[in-house]
Chains A and B, each alone.
Chain A
């Protein structure tokens, strides 16, 4: 049984529920609402006479159930914190307030919560990427170190200035190749830890500048995939589901952050 709830204000609680093999039911403050579904829309009136409408939206990527009251989109209880407070003075506010009654702080439309939710999702994804980069870097450091130590042992038997056969069209001396080989595993650790730190900084920055932070994180994530794919084409398909999911969450976050910006003018 699926259930979506909206708390429009103190006196208005709307529930849309659907049990298997039965039709959708709309309840207003615990009482069933008498109205008809016309295609994907369900229009009714609230106790105080305001017009309300529930619309079922679905496309290939997402499924949304939108409630509008007086033409304003009302986010459901998954998006809105139960204890609503003014961000400026922490006084209690109502979902449909456009300004705080205590300090006059401009609050925006209720739709802001939907954008905030996507931004929070994207920020969590960025934090997850930070953790993954760090773990990957440390694991690869130890995996690669075993391989490079074998190569270094071979190189150690040769004099520093001996010129080697060209590798990928470029000739190196033994000393040059030694630093390159050393950096095979050290570089992996340094680079991945750096990416991890960058992602952490972006996750922190997204508190203030969500759109810019998520855009940069998305660009870095895409570029890292391309770098890995250049080094080894097989990496494209590794963890493809997680990668697509991360990209989808980030893009949703960009859309959410964009809507926040537009709502605030």
Chain B
């Protein structure tokens, strides 16, 4: 031990033997010798006092279960899309969009029922108050202007985007069936799945901000069309922002439904 700077041989708090010229106990982090003023500031900012800092005890297994639930939902939705896609290549006249929507709705309803304690409060009409209305207006403005420009540019660049109205040609869908399958159903079930079940699970594991980013990524990727990954990622962020700010799924459903309806209307009357 250095004789010029005498330090206590043992930590005052936990009694562990201290190393030569140690400023902190390596076991409990207690400061044990007066540090120079300039390094003191660094030390204080690098390590908050142990007494006031309380770690949240969350078991890894519990978080792993949350992620597994997300993986199951994501995997099942991928699987129905895969079967639907194969169905089309075998029988182009089959009504696979309808069946995929139905199966996805059933899967998502199953998850929503399982996590009903989290999902039901998010669906309560009281969530749609005046403040939520303002948030919805802001989100709608951002989405319709920002994504409107993005999709306009995609079309200008000559990128062939799948037209919803092609389904009318394929299956003689009536207009109300088109709205039910492409506006109402996605609005209700995708919001429950991504902003409800998936976001709630991810939030527990990752925290609010990262959960928000990851749910938006999952939402965009599950549309299975790489060219629209960036635009749908932005959409997922906007809808996720609404969910975080309003603590309700209803404003997001309204915006999602309105956006999809606008796309259909634009195609019908172009």
Which residues of A approach B to under 8 Å, CB–CB? Answer: 88-89, 93-94, 97-106, 166, 168-171, 176, 179-180, 182-183, 187, 190-191, 194-195, 198, 209, 211-212, 215-216, 219-220, 222-224, 226-227, 229-230, 233, 254-255, 258-259, 261-262, 265
Instruction: Please give 18 more A-B residue pairs, beta carbons under 8 A apart, in addition to A226-B78, A258-B67.
Output: A89-B42, A99-B47, A101-B18, A101-B24, A103-B43, A104-B31, A168-B92, A168-B170, A170-B169, A179-B160, A198-B229, A212-B206, A215-B67, A215-B214, A220-B217, A226-B82, A229-B82, A255-B64
* Identity of the chain B residue whose Cβ is nearest the Cβ of A170 in the assembled complex: B166
- Contact call B81/A230, Cβ cutoff below 8 A: yes
> Within 8 Å of chain A (Cβ to Cβ): is B93?
yes
A136 → chain B closest CB, angstroms: 13
**Among the listed B23, B58, B59, B88, which residue makes an inter-chain contact with A104, where contact means beta carbons less than 8 Å apart?**
B23
The interface residues of chain B lying within 8 Å CB-to-CB of A94 are 26
| Between-chain CB contacts (< 8 Å), 24 pairs | A89-B42, A89-B46, A98-B26, A98-B27, A98-B28, A100-B24, A101-B25, A103-B39, A103-B42, A103-B43, A169-B170, A170-B169, A179-B158, A179-B160, A180-B160, A183-B159, A183-B160, A187-B159, A216-B218, A219-B74, A219-B221, A224-B226, A230-B81, A262-B60
**Does B55 touch A at the CB level, under 8 Å?**
yes
**B27 neighbours in A (Cβ, 8 Å):** 97-99
Q: Are B58 and A262 in contact (CB under 8 A)?
A: yes
Which of B31, B47, B210, B222 lies in contact with A211, CB distance below 8 A?
B210
Chain B: interface secondary structure?
helix
C-alpha gap A187/B89 in the complex (Å): 20
**Cβ-defined partner of B47 (8 Å) among A104, A170, A261:** A104
Minimum CB distance partner of A169 in chain B? B170
Pair B29/A106 contact, Cβ less than 8 Å: yes
Which A residues are CB-close (under 8 A) to B38?
Answer: none
Residues of A close to B169: CB separation below 8 A: 166, 169-171
Interface residues of B (CB under 8 A from A): 18-19, 22-29, 31, 39, 42-43, 46-47, 55-56, 58-60, 63-64, 67, 74-75, 78, 81-82, 85-86, 88-89, 92-93, 158-160, 166, 169-170, 205-206, 210, 213-214, 217-218, 221-222, 224-227, 229-230
Please give, as numbers and ranges, the residues of chain A lying within 8 Å of B88 by CB-CB distance: 168
Given known contacts A94-B26, A216-B214, A194 and B60 CB-to-CB distance under 8 angstroms: no
Nearest CB on B from A257, distance (A): 10
Chain A residues whose C-beta falls within 8 Å of the C-beta of B205 in the assembled complex: 211, 258, 261
Quote the shortest CB–CB distance from A207 to chain B (angstroms). Answer: 14
Q: What A residues does B221 contact at CB under 8 A?
A: 216, 219-220, 223
- Whether B86 lies near A233 (C-beta < 8 A) is yes
**A98-B29, A100-B24, A258-B60 are known contacts. Are A183 and B158 too (CB-CB below 8 A)?**
yes
Note all chain A residues with C-beta closer than 8 A to B47.
99, 103-106
User: Using a Cβ cutoff of 8 Å, how many contacts connect chains A and B?
Assistant: 144
Q: How far is the CA of A227 from the CA of B158 in the complex (A)?
A: 21
Tell me the smallest distance from the CB of B97 to a CB of chain A, in Å.
12
- Measured between alpha carbons, how far is A208 from B194 in the docked complex, in Å? 24
- A-B pairs with the 10 shortest C-beta distances? A230-B85, A265-B55, A99-B29, A101-B22, A104-B24, A104-B47, A169-B170, A97-B26, A191-B226, A216-B217
Within the complex, the shortest CB–CB distance from B235 to chain A, in Å, comes to 16
State how many angstroms separate the Cβ of A187 from the closest Cβ of chain B: 7
In Å, the complex CA distance between A15 and B171 comes to 70
- Among B47, B75, B230, find the residue whose CB has the most chain A CB atoms closer than 10 A: B47
Q: Is the CB of B82 within 8 A of A99?
A: no
Q: Tell me whether B86 and A230 are in contact (CB under 8 A).
A: yes
Cα distance, A261 to B22, chains bound together (Å): 28
Give bound CA distance, A50 to B63, whole Å. Answer: 32
The one of A169, A187, A262 in contact with B63, judged by C-beta atoms closer than 8 angstroms, is A262
**Which residue of A has the minimal Cβ distance to B85?**
A230
CA distance A233 to B86 in the complex (A): 8
Per a CB cutoff under 8 Å, which of B28, B85, B166, B222 touches A99?
Answer: B28
B133 to chain A, nearest CB (A): 31
Chain B hits for A183, CB < 8 A: 158-160
> For the complex, what is the distance from the CA of A232 to the CA of B25, rounded to whole Å?
61
CA distance A215 to B25 in the complex (A): 37
